[in-house]
Amino acid sequence: MSTSYIAGVDEVGRGPLVGDVVAAAVILPQNHNIIGLADSKKLSEKKRDALFELIIENAVSYCIARATPEEIDDLNILHASMLAMKRAVEGLPIQPSFVRVDGNRLPVWDYKAEAIVGGDALVEEISAASIVAKVVRDREMVELDKAFPGYGFAQNKGYPTKVHLSALDSLGVTPYHRRSFGPVKKRIASNV
């Protein structure tokens, strides 16, 4: 008898001006005891970190994938997000029989799937994927902050805050910035 696996998939990092868009796909055990799964944006960093460890330890299968700033600039953020989610599901060591995706559209693929608006708050597998993707991306922003101090990446996670925009003016654009995004594009144009 074959077991049918449901994967949840979500991405984070559509709005920031810097870094990859990160997607995660997660298959949870049917009778897992991971308490507190929810939309990653509604959880404290401490709670997300604790759940991240439980998800990684207990998942039947998981995969983290991404689309780079170059891919985002080439494709646009929507298509890059779809690409990252497709890579995450295709990269699962154990392939799912069904996929639930957060949002209102599906990547182009051959999986049986459904898109669920607000799925990160409604479906445990999507909540788990949302938590994994957010923790991974947030940690990458902390590392990027060490490499490029002054932009506030550890705090703003790459979003266009006052500190970040001011740093773009005074320090310039890093190799990790998304050149097609308005505030970055504007600053590149003004420095030509």
CATH of the domain at 37: 3.30.420.10
Residue 123 belongs to a domain:
yes
Asked, for residue 192, whether it belongs to a domain, the answer is no
Share of the chain above pLDDT 90, in %: 93
Q: What is the total count of domains within the chain?
A: 1
Mean pLDDT of the region 42-59: 96
Helices 45-58 + 124-147 axis angle, to 10: 120
pLDDT tens across 146-167, in order?
A: 999 999 999 999 999 999 999 9
- pLDDT number for residue 88: 98
Helices (H), the chain: 45-58, 69-75, 77-90, 119-122, 124-147, 153-156, 162-171, 182-190
Strands of 61-67's sheet in order across: 61-67, 21-27, 6-12, 98-102, 113-116
Confidence of residue 182 (pLDDT cuts 50, 70, 90): very high
Among 41, 61, 58, 55, which Cα is nearest to 137's? 41
> How large is the average pLDDT for residues 103-121?
96
Please state, rounded to an integer, the average pLDDT across all residues of the chain. Answer: 95
Kindly state whether residue 168 falls inside one of the protein's structural domains.
no
Residue 192 has pLDDT above 70, yes or no: no
Pair 157, 16: CB distance under 8 Å: yes
Flag whether 109 is in a domain.
yes
Fill in the DSSP letter of residue 20.
-
In-domain check, residue 96: yes
Res 102 pLDDT > 60: yes
CB 101 within 8 A of CB 95: no
- Is residue 113 scored above 50 in pLDDT? yes
Asked whether residue 188 is domain-assigned, the answer is no
pTM (2 d.p.): 0.95
pLDDT band, very low/low/confident/very high, at 191 (cuts 50, 70, 90): confident
Q: Residue 1: its pLDDT value, please? A: 35
Report whether 159 contacts 16 (CB < 8 A). yes
Q: Which residues span the domain enclosing 103?
A: 6-146
- Per the domain annotation, does 23 fall within a domain? yes
